[in-house]
Amino acid sequence: MKQLLWVCGLLGSLSASAATPLLYVSQVPIPGDDQAKMTATSSFANHLPTTLAAPRGGDLMLCTVPAAQTQCTTGNGGLRNLTAAAGFGSTGAGGLQDANAIAVRDPAVNFGATRAIFSMVVGAPTVPNGAESYTWQLYEITNLQAVVGGSVPTIVKVPNQPAFNNIHPNYMSDGKLVFVSDRPRNGSLSLYPIMDEYRGQPANSGLWRLDPATATLTLLEHTPGGSFSPFVDSFGRVAFVRWDHLMQDGNNLPANSPVDYLDETSATTQAAVETYPEPIQAVGGSNQNGFEINQFFPWTVNQDGTGEETLNHIGRHELRFAVNKTYTNDANLVVLQQPGGKNWLSNFFQMREDPVVPGRYLGVDAPEFGTHASGQIVAITAASGGNLLNAEDMSLQYVNAKQLSNVVGAPPGIGHFRDPLPRADGTLVASFANTFPAEPNTATATYNFRLVTLNKNTTANADSVNSGFLTPGATKTVSYYVGANLVTQTNVAMWELQAVEVTTRTTPPIKVQPPLATPEQGAFTATGVAEQDLRNYLNKFDLALVVMRNVAQRDDIDRQQPFNLHVLNGLTMLATPATGGTTYDMQWMQFFEADQVRGYGSPPGGINGRRTMPRPLNDPPSVLANIPDSLGSNPGGKDIAADGSVALFVPAQRAMTWQSLSPANASVVRERYWVEFQKGEIRACDSCHGVNKLNQSGSLVYPTAGAPVPPPPQALIDLLNWWKTHGDRIFAHDFEP
């Protein structure tokens, strides 16, 4: 397929008038990017504050290209070091990074362009093997417009932030802050550091919201793998990148001495047990293929933390090249492979929205390791005419050549991009390294990221960069201790990363939880339950209500998991046209919560931190165990009503996943993502695994235009009737302190 070319004028012709100023980060080059060394520019576990992960010596810079010029330079007054001007940075002789040394990352500008926030770590050891008790913390420039005019910046540390590593800050529509932190979900130090589901590397816990004035801190979105680069998009949602890696534990090996704690608060351990999902590798004699998911995709959540889902519910079937089938013995199931000519990606890093085309999101498709999360710039069009598109109508464009996402076979002279910045004038800025081999484990950095403007290439199949850079570049001599070693970089070319515009933008609306949809409202009306009464109850006990209208429905595209489904003593959903083959009976939905209970090391649990494991629903505030006929023989299970519906209370602010079970307790269809719910949230969907437009029978699914409105879910009616006479009494007796 012909590559999309980013149409920009030549840099010289764009500079007839002064350009909008840019903030960007200068960073001492970081050598190596592999699974044994995660750094500030790695794809994940990039929140570490050590000098190995974030060499000290960088700064926050301001670049303003004067009228009729092509670069911001110190000579024309267009290039300024803001952190140095505010008194931050090392004072050590000969470039030695001392107690005042800094590294800087993740700048963002508020909607009025009056303030800018960023993350900074302060301090470096000055002796071999010096202690490194540092954290990334949030700092803010409070007089940004005056700074653009030439004033000295006023930089203050954001008050009342958690004493953990806080990165990727941004502003919400009401002026509060959204950011990423490695603070455990509940703040418990016994769970720190969080270990990811992949290599057991340190992970962040998701998105947090902070009101600095009142010290109100809220877990906005909880995820075991980590979330990155949040911002509020033009539709009022918090858009971000999330790492999805819901899989069994690849580190469950005797050499690692794995153990499971009895629960998150216990110090008692037991044998490590895998319960969900299927094994990573196929087991001999089993009818299951192995399963491993490893992807960075775009996600959104409302500004109150409700409604978490992938961007417009887009998923693997729309974006990835191939998806394997679950079972080997069902001829109906097929391996998905995108047809020739269809664009696809492996990952989506460093997400930004195009200010000229609302609903168009740019990012970088890059490999997991080896390129400092740099590669090919891609764009996802998720809206048209101001309206969000159904996932099946969204499109993926290649802004430059597909080869740039790979570490092998990149065209000579073309390197890798990261941090794409679509500007209000229609141009595109990015950080570019004219190096295309991988750099997995090197002692000296070979990449040199510089800010460039992309322009239209006259040759097909690729974009190039202008011959002129946005800055003249800078070199610096620094030395810093990494453990016992003094690392010295002499006259090293500083990286230029994470550019953002200093420009006013329209403040987006505050998107929050929408009103109840017609089917659920019908259930409340039929039972005489007041919606607000139930929401008050959910908020009081840190719960959410999940409603699935018909778990027998499957998306018409997804032929990798079973789709000919029958609810025991209830409805049957079959594919159209009929394909024959196996029809699967379902009786239960089983729910899992993300519990940090996996530890490693000898003695048992000797390594600090815990990995998240899927465990059947067990959180003490959950009312599930007190609902008649809810458990059956399956912990965390809920019976499926005859109409295919399911409704239950679940713990809030804790990632969840689920599967349908047969009467023989065998898995039928598994959820492939973690999904989190907020306190008081009532979340309803048409099926348990997601339908974008058509189900397997070819029918439109509500709320798609033209689809019939389903009746009130029977499971919700049953739950509300139960709650009227049991809910408050059971909670008051069993769970109140």
AA identity, residue 413 = G
The angle at the Cα of 722, spanning 717 to 726, to the nearest 5 degrees, equals 155
User: Which residue did the predictor score with more confidence, 735 or 175?
Assistant: 175
User: Which residue did the predictor score with more confidence, 7 or 592?
Assistant: 592
Residues 91 and 237 in one domain: yes
Mention every residue, 6+ apart, whose C-beta is less than 8 A from residue 60: 23, 24, 25, 26, 81, 82, 83, 104, 107, 118, 120
Task: Report, as an integer, the average pLDDT of 581-588.
Answer: 92
Order of strands, sheet of 137-141, starting from the edge strand that comes earlier in the sequence: 102-109, 116-122, 137-141, 155-157
Residues 532 and 386 in one domain: no
Residue that finishes a domain, picked among 448, 474, 501: 501
Residue that finishes a domain, picked among 452, 469, 501: 501
Render pLDDT for 599-624 as a digit per residue (tens, 0 to 9).
999 999 999 999 999 999 887 655 55
DSSP, collapsed to helix, strand or coil, labels residue 232 as strand
Average pLDDT over the chain reads 89
CATH number (domain holding residue 174): 2.120.10.30
Residue 733 has pLDDT above 60, yes or no: no
Residue 732 has pLDDT above 60, yes or no: no
Q: pLDDT class for 92, splitting at 50, 70, 90?
A: confident
Is 160 within a domain?
Answer: yes
Residues 299 and 446 in one domain: yes
What angle do the packed helices 714-734 and 531-540 form, to 10 degrees? 40
Render pLDDT for 237-295 as a digit per residue (tens, 0 to 9).
999 999 999 999 999 999 999 999 999 999 999 999 999 999 999 888 889 999 999 99
pLDDT on residue 633: 56
Residues 404 and 552 in one domain: no
As for how many domains the chain has, the answer is 2
Report the C-alpha gap between 238 and 231 in whole angstroms: 5
Q: What is the dihedral of CA 14, 350, 324, 339, to 10 degrees?
A: -10
pLDDT on residue 631: 47
Report the C-alpha gap between 664 and 660 in whole angstroms: 11
Residues 590 and 465 in one domain: no
Burial class of residue 603 (count of CB atoms within 10 Å of its CB; 0-12, 13-18, 19+):
exposed
Residues 427 and 526 in one domain: no
pTM confidence score: 0.94
Residues 669 and 532 in one domain: yes
Residues 436 and 529 in one domain: no
State which residues form the domain around 435.
11-246+293-314+347-501
Is 264 within a domain?
Answer: no
Closest by Cα among 267, 263, 257 to 200: 257
Q: Which two tokens stand for residue 389?
A: 């598109």
pLDDT on residue 10: 26
Is 410 within a domain?
Answer: yes
Residues 540 and 665 in one domain: yes
Angstrom CA distances, 612 to 185, 248, 304, 659, stand at 11, 10, 24, 18
Paired residues of 353 in beta bridges = 361
Residue 402 has pLDDT above 90, yes or no: no
Residues 473 and 542 in one domain: no
Residue 181 has pLDDT above 60, yes or no: yes
pLDDT on residue 455: 66
User: Which residue did the predictor score with more confidence, 100 or 341?
Assistant: 100
Compute how many other C-beta atoms are within 10 angstroms of the C-beta atom of residue 132: 17
Mention every residue, 6+ apart, whose C-beta is less than 8 A from residue 733: none
- φ, ψ for residue 134, nearest 5 deg: -110, 160
Pairing verdict, β 610-616 and 194-195: parallel
- In the chain, pLDDT over 90 holds for what percent of residues? 76
* HEC letters along 179-223: EEECCCCCCCHHHCCEECCCCCCECCCEEEEEECCCCEEEEEEEC
Q: What is the dihedral of CA 327, 329, 332, 334, to 10 degrees?
A: 50
- In the chain, pLDDT over 70 holds for what percent of residues? 91
* HEC letters along 415-478: CEEEEEEECCCCCEEEEEECCCCCCCCCCCCCCCCEEEEEECCCCCCCCEECCCCCCCCCEEEE
In the numeric block, the tokens 């409805």 are attached to 571
Is 2 within a domain?
Answer: no
Q: Which of 159-173, 264-278, 497-511, 570-584 has the lowest mean pLDDT?
A: 570-584
Is 6 within a domain?
Answer: no
Report the C-alpha gap between 169 and 385 in whole angstroms: 30
Render pLDDT for 641-670 as a digit per residue (tens, 0 to 9).
999 999 998 899 999 999 999 999 999 999
Residue 114 has pLDDT above 60, yes or no: yes
Residue that finishes a domain, picked among 473, 501, 529: 501
The angle at the Cα of 327, spanning 322 to 333, to the nearest 5 degrees, equals 60
Task: Report, as an integer, the average pLDDT of 13-35.
Answer: 79
Is 273 within a domain?
Answer: no
Is 267 within a domain?
Answer: no
Q: Which of 14-23, 262-271, 582-591 has the lowest mean pLDDT?
A: 14-23
Report the C-alpha gap between 708 and 685 in whole angstroms: 15
Report the C-alpha gap between 712 and 718 in whole angstroms: 11
Task: Please say whether the beta carbons of 498 and 419 come within 8 A.
Answer: yes
Residues 139 and 209 in one domain: yes
Residues 462 and 548 in one domain: no
Is 339 within a domain?
Answer: no
